[in-house]
Structure 1
Amino acid sequence: MIELVLGLPQALVEPVSDALSDELDALSVSVEDADAGTEAEQALFGEPGMPAPEPAWASSTVRALFETEAQAEAAAALLLAQDWTTGLRVLAMMPVVEQDWVRLTQSQFEPVSITEEFWVVPSWHEAPAAAKTVIRLDPGLAFGTGTHPTTLMCLRWLATNARSWPRMLDYGCGSGILAIGALLLGAHTADAVDIDAAAIQSTQDNAAANGVTVRAGDPAMASGCYPLVVANILAQPLKLLAPLLCGHVEAGGRLILAGILERQVDELRQAYAPWLTLEVLDSLDGWVLMGGQRASHDDR
């Protein structure tokens, strides 16, 4: 297989992607931020009360796979010849080495220790002897396998604050790992919401694989107030979602936030100050976990 790598402005991403997949025989097409890994990197998201997510980044990279080099060369030539593709650049054209992708993927995911007794274990691994609580979770389409510092800190907080929550909300659930972990650690019920249909399906599948029941759906499904609300997203959407998330925390309840860099702590404190006081609960590899408690009725 041959990978064709293109650089292009935002306005061309959709028509070029459509042309590659519909007319030029690309086997797959993916889009990524051309500034990924730099300070200019940006997240695309959509949340209630916010503008719809942009279709791509201002400067994007499109990767297309073709069966043959001739197909990739023809696709590049045809796109460059069009009047409407000004700004399109061919960055690379390279062979993709054939590999056993299943075996390769599995080799990259080992059991993750949250605490000595709490582990996240892929289905193809045996659980460690010391593991008393195990989340069975395989890498999939949705974010959250326990390896990223933000997810790990959320699970670590759940483990070290183990108690029975009558009800919890996992907002931006991804794989559903936090809702599943909370249930395994004693929560009675868990709701999990996400704007991505793949995340909702992944959460339902992972919950079933772990023998727990998670009510999963889009954000409109979240109803009423919860003793515990956990949101592992990114700092910018967390700031914009402050009124909504705090509105889901019952009097005396806890709010746990992740996806925050150390340099963003003060921004988050300010954003949530009208409702509660956030404090740093944990830190790992430049990321922090923040949390706060809503005042009880007696304190208002």
Structure 2
Amino acid sequence: MYELVLSAPQALVEPVSEALMNELDALSVSVEDADADTEAEHALFGEPGMPAPRPGWDRSTLKALFPDEAQAQQAATLLLAQDWAEGLGVLSLAAVEEQDWVRLTQSQFAPVEITPSFWIVPSWHEAPPQAQHVMRLDPGLAFGTGTHPTTRMCLGWIANQAPALAAGWDRVLDYGCGSGILAIGAALLGARSVDAVDIDPAAVISTTDNAVANGVTIAAGLPDKASGEYPLVLANILATPLKLLAPLLCGHLAPGAHLVLAGILERQADELKAAYAPWIKLEVLNTDDGWILMGGQRPA
């Protein structure tokens, strides 16, 4: 396997990446900050679920893998010959050591502690001996694996409140379920019936598969699957859709029900409080790395 390393200004990152993948048959393409680990390094990221604000840095490094040297050389030659590729440069072209990418990827994901007794454990790991409740969840293409602060805070709330409240969780709604991680957590911790809904059909499939893998029953579907009132409503999305969903989510709250919301940055707390004020008083329940967990209870 051979790696072609290119330098590119921001304007060329997207067209060069597309050419490498779609026309020059690269096995993979990655983009890095050419100024990483220097004083000129610049963070480039968006909120979870949202695209990055720009396709690359002012000075980006593109790394493309090819199955053999001839393909890598041809790709470099063709790219440099394009009249639109001014500013593109070749930094290196070299053989790279073959690796067991599956094993390498797996090594990056360890069990995640939600509470001392509740853990998320990839299928290739043994559960810690102290784990009384274990969710089996492998990293996939999308939707969350329990490592993000918003997910950990939601699951922590469920785990900590379950001893006192789970007896009343005859119905739970996970709105915007993604991988189904919150729905599965609620089911593992005592909820008798759980509805999980998402606008993405792929999320519905992911939730169903993960529920089966964990031996729990989840009714997963598109948003119209949610019906009636629930004693617990969970939503880990982002602040903007959560504000728009305020009347819908609050309409699903049974008297005395708890609403738990995540995907909210600390600076967005007052916006969410105002959006939900006509129906419920929200409070900040937890904070983690700039993110907050918010919740409230509908009057009985």
Measured against the shorter chain, the TM-score band is 0.7 to 0.9
Change beyond 3 A, Cα 1:27–1:294: same
The alpha carbon displacement at 1:154 in A equals: 0.9
Q: Is the 8 A contact 1:32 1:60 kept in 2?
A: no
Amino acid paired to 1:125? H
Match status 1:143 vs 2:138:
no
Change beyond 3 A, Cα 1:226–1:75: farther
What is the TM-score normalised by the length of structure 2?
A: 0.77
The alpha carbon displacement at 1:212 in A equals: 0.5
What is the TM-score normalised by the length of structure 1?
A: 0.77
Query: Aligned-pair RMSD on alpha carbons?
Result: 3.5
Change beyond 3 A, Cα 1:32–1:161: farther
Deviations 1:159-195 (A, max 9, x none): 1111131111112222211111100111111122223
Pairing partner for 1:198 from 184, 196, 202: 202
The 2-side partners of 1:220 and 1:155 are apart by: 24
Change beyond 3 A, Cα 1:41–1:253: same
Match status 1:130 vs 2:130:
yes
Give the stretch that moved more between structures: 103-112 or 133-142. 103-112
Match of 1:49 in 2: none
Q: Is the 8 A contact 2:196 2:218 kept in 1?
A: yes
Deviations 1:230-286 (A, max 9, x none): 111222332233233223333332211112222222222122222211101112233
Match of 2:242 in 1: 238
Which structure has the bigger radius of gyration? 2
Q: Is the 8 A contact 1:179 1:214 kept in 2?
A: yes
Tell me, which stretches of 5 or more residues in structure 2 are unaligned?
Answer: 34-40, 57-61
The 2-side partners of 1:173 and 1:87 are apart by: 45
Pairing partner for 1:273 from 265, 268, 277: 277
Change beyond 3 A, Cα 1:39–1:26: closer
Q: Is the 8 A contact 2:45 2:53 kept in 1?
A: no
The alpha carbon displacement at 1:43 in A equals: 4.1
Match of 1:252 in 2: 256
Change beyond 3 A, Cα 1:234–1:39: farther
The 2-side partners of 1:88 and 1:292 are apart by: 54
Match of 2:158 in 1: 158
The alpha carbon displacement at 1:97 in A equals: 5.1
Q: Is the 8 A contact 1:225 1:247 kept in 2?
A: yes
Match status 1:2 vs 2:8:
no
Change beyond 3 A, Cα 1:281–1:103: same
1:60 match: secondary structure: coil
Match of 2:267 in 1: 263
Q: Is the 8 A contact 1:7 1:91 kept in 2?
A: no
The alpha carbon displacement at 1:41 in A equals: 3.8
The alpha carbon displacement at 1:64 in A equals: 5.3
Deviations 1:12-35 (A, max 9, x none): 95x7766544432233467999xx
Q: Is the 8 A contact 1:282 1:288 kept in 2?
A: yes
The alpha carbon displacement at 1:103 in A equals: 1.8
1:29-68, aligned counterparts within 5 Å? 41-43=45-47, 59-61=54-56, 65-68=65-68
Amino acid paired to 2:279? W
1:291 match: secondary structure: strand
Match status 1:109 vs 2:126:
no
Q: Is the 8 A contact 1:80 1:88 kept in 2?
A: no
Q: Is the 8 A contact 1:7 1:90 kept in 2?
A: no
The 2-side partners of 1:43 and 1:91 are apart by: 32
Change beyond 3 A, Cα 1:252–1:123: same
Deviations 1:78-112 (A, max 9, x none): 567667x6899679777665322222222222222
Match status 1:222 vs 2:221:
no
Change beyond 3 A, Cα 1:287–1:130: same
